Structure 1
Amino acid sequence: MTASSSKLNEHDQIISALQQLVEPMKATLVGPSEIIVHDLTRLPNSIVAIGGDVTGRSIGDPATDKLLDAVASGNLRTSIGYRTTSPSGKELLSTTAIIRDSTNQPVAALCINRDISGWEVLHSLTGALAGLSLPISAEEEQATTEVFVRDVDELATLLLSRAVAESGVPVDEMRKEHKVEVVRLLKARGFFLLRDAAETAANALACTRFTIYNYLNEIEGE
């Protein structure tokens, strides 16, 4: 058996094991929740298993902006008990566990999202009835911005709009340095892992696809 086939088998075994854990893990959670497995070799459409429905996503849907950013920056790490918000506006308590193979390479992300909006209401009501301000745990105080998108086009639009907004200059007033900065932000956040990314960026920045490639080469050479 070659090293490459052994590596592939290990990857498949890890993904298969995680997929089999989804339903048992979901069954242990109280209240609205979901368990999601991302295969990081399939980015951006990385969801390969899902149990429950809190964020409205399905198998084959893409990673969140937060996960894509972590992959692009090489900053993949397990995050436990952070707060975020579902597409319907519900408060979520989330955990993302990065699963690595025997060579310490990231293979998958196992994500848990729990809808805690009902508990928030109960927490506030209990405190009001008791005349107390009940404390929130340190883990639950952590907040992050994570967007749960349904398709790659939605993810691309999100990343583009953020990068353009951060440049502080409307596209029709941008000079080269502004567009290079937008491309730099997009590259850092994993935008160019998406399908037809260069063409999408070119359309948004009113330039050609080849200009985007030139900007990327310029950034790589810095």
Structure 2
Amino acid sequence: MQGSEPNETEADAILAAVAAGVDGIAATVGDHCEVLVHDYRSPESSVVAVGGSVTGRRAGDPMSEIGRRMHAAGDAAQPDINYRNRTPDGRMIRSSTIPLRDSGGRVIGCLCINVDTTALHTLRDQLDTMLGGSGPETVPTTDFPSSFDAALDEILLYEARSRDKELTDLTTAERGEVLRRIDERGLLQARGAVRRISTRLGVSRAAVYKTLKAGHGRD
């Protein structure tokens, strides 16, 4: 959970200072590197600076699924260094996500570095096959949505299709499961999330809050 509110002036200065270095970091690593700065005070449009391009994101875009999980951890968030993930179009990425804190220890955003390692993985897999190895490794896919609504709609579409139902036909128990998935992805923290979710589910905001209060309840 987040603690007290950060000093806005200090937070702005820290984020601006880190943002000033993204182009230099990306250029040093090479054209397969992307460096982003996120401002957690605006999770639905958290990207404030981008150097290079790997995921195709731009300033004003929302955070990824991994970023949302770190944001949900609040001030307890810890650096996640050198992890592997995969883009929806199949490219392999090695990433590091580092929380940015103000002088009071409050997490105000993060620095994220993504390096496209697809060519190296392809070469390794080819060598592994030739040498009789175990074959390609399994790496989780990470979403890099162009907007909060795109991330939300992706989850809702999957949940509706998996039940062969329209979103407005879900039972209270099923809506509870859907809300749990949304919460796990860190989307409930975004401004206006409940309003947007209630519209798509065809229920009132009060009904969504009631389900959340009941621990995503059941019929």
How far the C-alpha of 1:21 sits from its partner, in A, is 1.2
What is the Cα-based RMSD across aligned positions, in Å? 3.3
Q: Structure 2 counterpart of 1:115, which letter?
A: D
Q: TM-score, normalised by structure 1?
A: 0.78
Q: Describe how 1:75-114 pairs up with structure 2 within 5 A.
A: 76-114=77-115
Deviation for aligned residue 1:133: 5.0
For the 8 Å contact 1:82–1:144, the answer to whether it is kept is no
Q: Distance between the aligned counterparts of 2:154 and 2:66, measured in 1?
A: 12
Q: Is the 8 A contact 1:83 1:142 kept in 2?
A: no
The correspondence for 1:178, drawn from 174, 178, 183, is 174
Structure 1 position 214 matched with structure 2 position 215: no
Match of 2:10 in 1: 10
Aligned to 1:156: 152
Shift of 1:132: 7.4
Query: For 1:11 and 1:113, how far apart are their aligned partners in 2?
Result: 23
Shift of 1:10: 2.2
Q: Hey, what's the Cα distance between the residues in 2 that align with 1:184 and 1:90? A: 28
Q: More deviation in 175-184 or 86-95?
A: 175-184
Which residue in the other structure is 2:183 paired with?
A: 187
| Offset at residue 7 of structure 1 (A) | 2.5
Q: Distance in 1 between matches of 2:5 and 2:149?
A: 34
In 1, the alpha carbon distance for the partners of 2:118 and 2:184 equals: 33
Q: Is the 8 A contact 1:163 1:186 kept in 2?
A: no
Corresponding letter in the other structure for 2:37? V
Higher Rg: 1
1:61–1:151 contact (8 Å) kept in structure 2: yes
**Distance in structure 1 (CA, Å) of the matches to 2:118 and 2:164:** 38
Matching residue's letter, 1:111: C
The Cα shift of 1:63 comes to 0.5
Aligned partners of 1:174 and 1:6: how far apart in 2? 39
What's the offset of the Cα at 1:142? 8.7
TM-score, structure 2 as length reference? 0.79
Matches within 5 A, 1:25-44: 25-44=25-44
State the shift of 1:111 in Å. 0.7
Task: Go from structure 1 to structure 2 and tell me whether the alpha carbon gap of 1:161 and 1:69 turns closer, same or farther (over 3 Å shift).
Answer: farther
Bigger helix share: 1
Mean Cα deviation higher: 90-99 or 196-205: 196-205
Q: For this pair of structures, how many residues does the alignment match?
A: 212
Mapped partners of 2:16, 2:180: distance in 1: 36
Q: Give the Å deviation of 1:16.
A: 1.4
What residue is the counterpart of 1:204 in the other structure? 200
Change beyond 3 A, Cα 1:186–1:97: same
Sequence identity percentage: 28
How far 1:146 moved relative to its partner? 1.8
C-alpha change, 1:125 and 1:14, in structure 2 (3 Å) is same
